Structure 1
Amino acid sequence: MIRKAFVMSVYPDKHKEYEKRHKEIWPEMVETLHQYGASNYSIFLDKESSKLFGYVEIEDEETWEKVAATEVNQKWWEYMRPVMETHSDNSPVTKTLTEVFHMD
């Protein structure tokens, strides 16, 4: 199991919409995440900075990287584009964080 953490940004006026969309996440998106090795996935919001902190556990990097190309993931990125910072391909602007401490 590999722990991954990352930071993204939601638009300041879209906090509620971002949360709403995740409360109503498509079952096929959740199923796809599981199929590509994701578990224990959480996203947290710092309302003052509009920064999102994501944490996910994955089985392996190679499998996880393939989820981006799935049809449902591409649709999800397009759906989320109006509420958060994205690249031209609709993927979220993401900064990967380096783990410096872990305790079970």
Structure 2
Amino acid sequence: MQLRAFKMKLTPGFKDEYRRRHNNIWPELEALLKNNGINDYDIFYDEDTDVLFCLQKINSDKLSSDLSSNEVMKKWWDYMADIMDVNPDNSPVIKYLEPVFHLK
């Protein structure tokens, strides 16, 4: 099992819309993530900065390194592009975070 942490930036004022869209995640997107080893995924919101902190637990045996070419993922990015910082291809601007401590 691997952990992957990263952050993204939400457009101010769109927390409720972001939550609504994720509460209605498309079944095909959920299946895509799980079929590619992402079996546990949490997103936290910092209201002071509009930063989304994301934590994924990944089954390293199934991890797909590149979901960016998948049509379902591209459609989800297009769907979310109006409420968060995105790259020219509408993928979210992501800053991966380096692990520096773990208590087990």
- SS of structure 1 residue aligned to 2:14: helix
How far is the alpha carbon of 1:40 from its aligned partner? 1.4
CA RMSD of aligned residues (A): 1.6
TM-score of the two chains, using structure 2 as the length reference: 0.92
Q: Is the 8 A contact 1:9 1:51 kept in 2?
A: yes
AA in 1 matched with 2:52: L
Off by >6 Å, runs of 4+ in structure 1: none
% identity of equivalent residues: 38
Question: Is the 1:78–1:90 Cα contact (8 Å) retained in structure 2?
Answer: yes
> Which residue of 2 is the match for residue 69 of structure 1?
69
After superposition, give the CA deviation of every residue in 1:24-46 in whole Å (9 maximum; x if it has no partner).
10011000000111011000000
Structure 1 residue runs of 5 or longer lacking an equivalent are none
Which AA in structure 1 matches 2:15?
Answer: H
Spell out the pairing of 1:37-76 with structure 2 (5 A cutoff).
37-60=37-60, 63-76=63-76
Per the alignment, in what secondary structure is the counterpart of residue 91 of structure 1?
coil
Cα distance in 1 between the residues matched to 2:70 and 2:2: 21
Q: Which has the higher helix share?
A: 1
| Matched residues, number | 104
Q: Who is 2:17 aligned against?
A: 17
Runs of 5+ unmatched residues, structure 2: none
Pairing 1:100–2:95 present? no
1:24-77: CA deviations, max 9, x gaps? 100110000001110110000001110000000123399432222111001000
User: Structure 2: how far apart are the matches of 1:8 and 1:63?
Assistant: 21
